[in-house]
Structure formats: C-alpha cells, structure tokens
C-alpha cells in the first residue's frame, strides 16, 4: 500500500552531534535545491551542532534524521507534536530505526515524494507523575539507582500488586525498545506489531526478577524509594528527572510515524547482522566444519 504523492517544500533535519555527516547532508541539500525545497534545522534538546538555518517543525513536510538510532529518537520526539513522518538516514551501519544509507538517500526522498512508502506507526509509553508534567517514551523508561544504596520499586498492574524489587532499578519498554536496554538486561524480544509492553528488572538483591509482558490496555503503577545515592528517571536514554517517587504508565498507540519501504531490512536480520542476536557457538562451529575448504592455487 502506497501513500498519496506530496510536494516537499521544506525538510527539517536532525543530525548526530559528532559523526561525519557530510555525504548525506550534501545529498540532502542537493536534492532539495534541485526541487526548490528548503532545508532547516529542527531544534532538539542538547543539540549544539549547526548545519542549517533554524526552522519550526510545524513548517516542515518531512523530518530527516542523519545519524544513528539515538539521533532518530530525538528526531521522532521533535516530530510528534506536528504529526510529521521521519526518515532515518544511517551514518554507520543500519540500526532498528534508520531506514536507508547515505548513498540511498536521494532515491528514498524520490520514493517518499512519489508516495512509494509505508507509514511505520509507533506506540509510546505515557508516563504520569504526581510531581511533574506528563512524559512519553518511544523506546523505554528506566528507573536506575544513582549511587550507593539500592532502589526499591513496587510494581502494581491494574491495581494489583505484582512484585517488589530492591536493586539497581527496572526498565519499562515498548515493543520497539524491547531490542534495546531491556534486551541487554535479559528481557524478552517482542516482535513488531505485538500489542504489549514490558517491565524488566535490573540486577536485584534476591527475590524473583522475571520480566513481565503487559497487555496494551493494562496500567502499570510504580512506587519508588531511593537509597542513599538517590535514583534517576531516564526517558529514551536521557535524564528526565531525579528521585522519581511514583509513575503511572500506559501504552499510547499510534504516537509517531516513520518512513518505511517495502524492501527494508527485517528486524531479526538487522539484529543478527549487528551481533545482538547470535547463534549458539556449537552451531557456528558445525557451520565452519561443513564449509568447503578454500581452493589454493599452485605456486
């Protein structure tokens, strides 16, 4: 299924703070100049690298992220308020969120303008707090100890006590975030399209510490007590607050839109290529023994 054709009059760009982005940025500028479009830089928190004149998100037709998955998350967060699609351009190896390489950018922009793309709609975690404004997380939120002492977290699902944890903290993640911090902490991987979210404990001082898969309509309540060193709340890898006390979390559907193409790399292929998912060493050894020996030319 394709989208309607659209004229692109203004492209907002979000870039990696330090990587070499010259090649994709030059391709983006040339493509825009050839079609009479403007390129402006969209403001995101912590961004000090200037590559274009500043512009308002609401004036753009498309947001282009040039970097990795972290840059992509910042771009998506900026685009949410204006309900704009985001195209991710990788500066290294393709990640989970970035859709195209720098060399494929011009073709990708042509395909987007022609409607030859598919919206990849992402949910988010809505986070309500008694001591601050509501937040949202596209990947995950983490409650993490900030020094000596343990963090104690009481988790309740739909008003019923699930577990009380004492240790390094916990992670709550979307399907998208299940392949990030949560997976690194031993949580399960959720396939794209799964109508659920995750609670994954970090290292704990005894007790049960199984990850919990929550249904999309379940409400998760977390009560937090920090040790001597305190705790911090991280949203999509960025510090959001110090010493959180209580959070109420719900899954919000259809929050953000990514530009995807029918020939994009599948999630499992991406994770295997990057070594995040790996085969058993025994299987790898068997493959090595079964492979034909290289042919050596006579001297």
| Tens-place pLDDT, residues 115-174 | 999 999 999 999 999 989 999 999 999 999 998 989 999 999 999 999 999 999 999 999
Same domain, yes or no, for 177 and 224?
yes
- What mean pLDDT is predicted for residues 37-52? 93
Q: What is the pLDDT of residue 107?
A: 96
Please indicate, yes or no, if residue 216 is contained in any of the structural domains.
yes
Determine the Cα–Cα distance for residues 241 and 288; give it in Å rounded to an integer.
50
Number of H helices, E strands in the chain: 6, 18
Count of structural domains, the chain: 2
On the 0-12 / 13-18 / 19+ scale of CB atoms within 10 A, 138 is buried
For the CA atoms of the chain, what is the radius of gyration? 22
CATH number, domain containing residue 194: 2.60.200.30
Number of neighbours of residue 63 by Cβ within 10 angstroms = 24
| Tens-place pLDDT, residues 62-116 | 999 999 999 999 999 999 989 999 999 998 777 788 889 999 999 999 999 999 9
Please indicate, yes or no, if residue 295 is contained in any of the structural domains.
no
Same domain, yes or no, for 163 and 228?
yes
| Tens-place pLDDT, residues 133-143 | 999 999 999 99
Q: Is residue 1 predicted with pLDDT exceeding 60?
A: no
Closest by Cα among 27, 44, 85 to 255: 85
Determine the Cα–Cα distance for residues 229 and 249; give it in Å rounded to an integer.
25
| Tens-place pLDDT, residues 238-283 | 999 999 999 999 999 999 999 999 999 899 998 998 888 999 999 9
Confirm if 8 and 35 have CB atoms less than 8 A apart.
yes
Closest by Cα among 91, 95, 81, 84 to 16: 91
Q: What is the pLDDT of residue 145?
A: 94
Higher per-residue pLDDT: 156 or 204: 156
Q: What Cα–Cα distance (Å) separates residue 65 from each residue in 183, 225, 297?
A: 24, 37, 48
69 is catalytic: yes
Active-site entry in 69, 140, 168, 236: 69
3-class secondary structure, 264: coil
Q: Is residue 37 predicted with pLDDT exceeding 80?
A: yes
Same domain, yes or no, for 181 and 241?
yes
Same domain, yes or no, for 78 and 152?
no
Q: How confident is the model at residue 299 (pLDDT cuts 50, 70, 90)?
A: low
Same domain, yes or no, for 41 and 73?
yes
On the 0-12 / 13-18 / 19+ scale of CB atoms within 10 A, 258 is buried
Please indicate, yes or no, if residue 182 is contained in any of the structural domains.
yes
Q: What is the pLDDT of residue 151?
A: 94
Q: What is the pLDDT of residue 298?
A: 66
Q: What is the pLDDT of residue 110?
A: 96
Q: Residue 215 belongs to what domain range?
A: 124-253
Please indicate, yes or no, if residue 1 is contained in any of the structural domains.
no
Q: Which residues contact 279 (CB under 8 A, 6 or more apart)?
A: none
Residue with tokens 């500028």: 29
Q: Is residue 192 predicted with pLDDT exceeding 80?
A: yes
Q: How confident is the model at residue 8 (pLDDT cuts 50, 70, 90)?
A: very high
Closest by Cα among 71, 106, 112, 74 to 92: 71
Same domain, yes or no, for 128 and 238?
yes
């Amino acid at each position: 299924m394709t989208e309607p054709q659209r004229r692109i009059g203004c492209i907002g760009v979000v870039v990696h703070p330090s990587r070499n982005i010259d090649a994709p940025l030059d391709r983006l500028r040339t493509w825009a100049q050839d079609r009479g479009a403007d390129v402006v830089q969209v403001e995101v928190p912590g961004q000090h690298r200037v590559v274009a004149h500043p512009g308002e998100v609401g004036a753009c037709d498309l947001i282009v992220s040039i970097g990795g998955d972290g840059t992509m998350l910042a771009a998506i967060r900026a685009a949410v308020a204006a309900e704009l699609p985001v195209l991710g351009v990788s500066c290294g190896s393709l990640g989970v969120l970035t859709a195209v390489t720098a060399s494929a950018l011009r073709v990708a922009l042509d395909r987007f303008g022609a409607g030859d793309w598919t919206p990849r709609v992402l949910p988010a975690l809505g986070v309500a707090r008694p001591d601050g404004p509501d937040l949202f997380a596209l990947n995950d939120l983490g409650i993490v100890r900030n020094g000596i002492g343990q963090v104690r977290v009481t988790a309740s699902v739909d008003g019923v006590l699930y577990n009380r944890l004492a240790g390094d903290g916990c992670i709550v993640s979307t399907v998208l975030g299940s392949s990030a911090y949560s997976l690194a902490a031993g949580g399960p991987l959720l396939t794209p399209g799964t109508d659920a979210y995750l609670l994954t404990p970090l290292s704990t001082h005894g007790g049960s510490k199984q990850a919990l898969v929550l249904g999309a309509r379940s409400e998760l309540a977390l009560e937090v007590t920090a040790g001597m060193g305190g705790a911090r709340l991280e949203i999509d890898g960025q510090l959001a607050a110090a010493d959180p006390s209580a959070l109420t979390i719900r899954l919000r559907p259809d929050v953000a839109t990514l530009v995807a193409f029918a020939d994009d790399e599948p999630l499992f292929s991406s994770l295997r290529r990057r070594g995040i998912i790996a085969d058993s060493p025994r299987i790898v050894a068997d493959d090595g023994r079964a492979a034909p020996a290289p042919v050596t030319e006579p001297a």
